[in-house]
Amino acid sequence: MPQAKGKSRPRGVKKAWAGRFAEQTDRLVEAFTRSIEVDRRLYRYDIDGSIAHCRTLTKARILTGRESAAIIRGLESVRAELERDQFKFLPEDEDIHMAIERRLTELIGPLGGKLHTGRSRNDQVALDARVYVRDRLAVMINRLKALQRVLVRQAQANRDVAMPGYTHLQRAQPVLFAHHLLAYVEMFERDKGRLRDARTRANVMPLGSGALAGSNYPIDRRYTAALLNFPALSQNSLDAVSDRDFMVEAVAAMALLMMHLSRLSEELILWSTQEFHFVDLPDAFCTGSSMMPQKKNPDVPELVRGKTGRVYGHLMGLLTTLKALPLSYNRDLQEDKPALFDAFDQTDRAVEVMTELMRRLAVDREAVTRALSGGGMLATEIADYLVTKGVPFREAHEITGRIVRWALDQGRELSELSVEELRRFSEKFDSSVLQRLTVRGAIDRKAQIGGTASKQVDRRLRDWAKTLS
């Protein structure tokens, strides 16, 4: 049978724009264009913005004091219904903005229709989205600070532990475990900076831009901005209603943050394997296998790694939605919020769960120390020693490579070689080289700013403790 077509049917509630149309909205169109399931989370911001707009209309003498008080009381009643989950959404409610206005009018009568004077859903939704982004970014910055504190505490607790540093996932040079953890603290500090920057550009008030051209009413936009705690006003009404740069910037910052969390997750996954066993993940943050009783799977870092791709997808989705939109508002922009909301939700949860995981992380010091043997990690120390004796670095590099090859063939560690054995390769060696062939010596010679030497790591730990207090 052919599929039934959508039909128009009588409604109990008129659309706000129904006067222009001879037919009511088709059921299929109504379902297709409805966004209430997504944007209902904006209700607090929408009501706050409506109250501020109401007061601005009163200041402009468009509403009387009595009308304003009645509207604000009605809005607070709507807020209470929503917060108590007693608000009844109707099929005719396209979005949260129209649902609130519809319920307000039910509560206070035709006076509710005066609230929309001087504004459009275009500047209304832009306002709600900006306040939402502003608030969520502030929460995320604080969450990142908590994660940094945990990493610093782990670094302090393990500040005397040396570990292999890696390049190409091959053992390279010894570093302090604390130095490794502090690398992520630096990354997250940059993330906080990007989130703050995004928050600054989101924190601009668009209300008063109308549908696209501004308002015919003598509203005081600075007054509205002060009521809503905005430090700046949009300066072009066309841009204000169509701008979603602040969303893209926020999601881009979150994509970078998730990338850093994903890198940390990958290391935790590797370090918790039997092959490494540098760390033991808390049981409460792992799962088992339905088939293999011995398994302890690092599901949390794996999911963080996976959700990183999800946030990347939201960034590309937003950019693609915006890439060819003419000015000013277009309904395509309704598709911005699913990406925005989910990016915030996934990133916020990832930061929160990784903070608690890192708080409970156990470091296997013996396993980390054992990993320092083998692989010739002190080779660079030999090459640099020869340079101090006047040997050009490229020649010192070649000599050291031959020493490493010989030691591997002999099954020997570089630290086990005698001065006499080293002198087979260069007469520049003397007993002073032995001071270099220790893990601690190799670490503490990296004493410039940013190096892994104990004194530099201790200095940075003190800096972070002060910064994050």
pLDDT classification of 229: cutoffs 50, 70, 90: very high
Residue ending a domain, among 61, 83, 114, is 114
Helices H, strands E: what count in the chain?
A: 18, 6
pLDDT at 454 over 80: yes
| Residue 6 covered by a domain | no
CATH number, residue 412: 1.10.40.30
Known catalytic residue: 168?
yes
Q: Per the domain annotation, does 266 fall within a domain?
A: yes
Q: What number of residues does the chain have?
A: 469
Same domain, 146 and 105: no
Q: Which two tokens stand for residue 265?
A: 């997750």
Same domain? For 126 and 155 the reply is: yes
Active site residue 289: yes
Domain identity same for 83 and 227: no
On whether both 269 and 339 belong to a single domain, the answer is yes
Tokens 């917060």 sit on residue:
83
Runs of H (alpha helix) within 158-176: none
In a domain, residue 15? The reply is no
Please state, in angstroms and rounded to a whole number, the distance separating the CA atoms of residues 401 and 408. Answer: 11
Give this prediction's pTM. 0.91
Is residue 300 located within the same domain as residue 226? yes
Of 60, 85, 114, the domain-final residue: 114
Residue 9 inside a domain? The answer is no
Q: What is the per-residue pLDDT for 2?
A: 44
The CB density around residue 401, as the number of other CB atoms within 10 Å, is 15
Catalytic residue selected from 168, 290, 431, 469: 168
- Indicate whether 129 and 34 sit together in one domain: no
Give the pLDDT score at 288. Answer: 87
Kind and range of the H or E run holding 437: none
Residue 233 has pLDDT above 50, yes or no: yes
Which pLDDT tens digit goes with each residue over 362-382?
999 999 999 998 778 999 999
7 pLDDT above the threshold of 50: no
Residue 149 token pair? 């504190």
**In terms of pLDDT, which residue wins out, 16 or 153?**
153
Active-site pick, 50, 215, 289, 426 = 289
pLDDT at site 276: 95
Q: Are residues 305 and 173 part of one domain?
A: yes
15 pLDDT above the threshold of 80: no
Residues 108 and 126 occupy one common structural domain: no
Q: Residue 228: which domain range?
A: 121-370
Count: domains in the chain: 3
User: Of 302, 353, 361, nearest to 155 (Cα)?
Assistant: 361
Band (4; pLDDT cuts 50, 70, 90):
very low
Same-domain status, 330 and 399: no
Q: Does the pLDDT of residue 197 top 90, yes or no?
A: yes
User: Do residues 211 and 287 both lie within one domain?
Assistant: yes
- 308 contact partners, CB below 8 Å, separation of at least 6: 255, 258, 259, 261, 262
Domain end point (choices 68, 95, 114): 114
Tokens 């009511």 correspond to 24
Domain contains 393: yes
- What was the pLDDT predicted at 13? 58
What percent of the chain stands above pLDDT 70?
96
Please state the rounded mean pLDDT for residues 120-128.
97
Average pLDDT, integer, range 397-422: 93
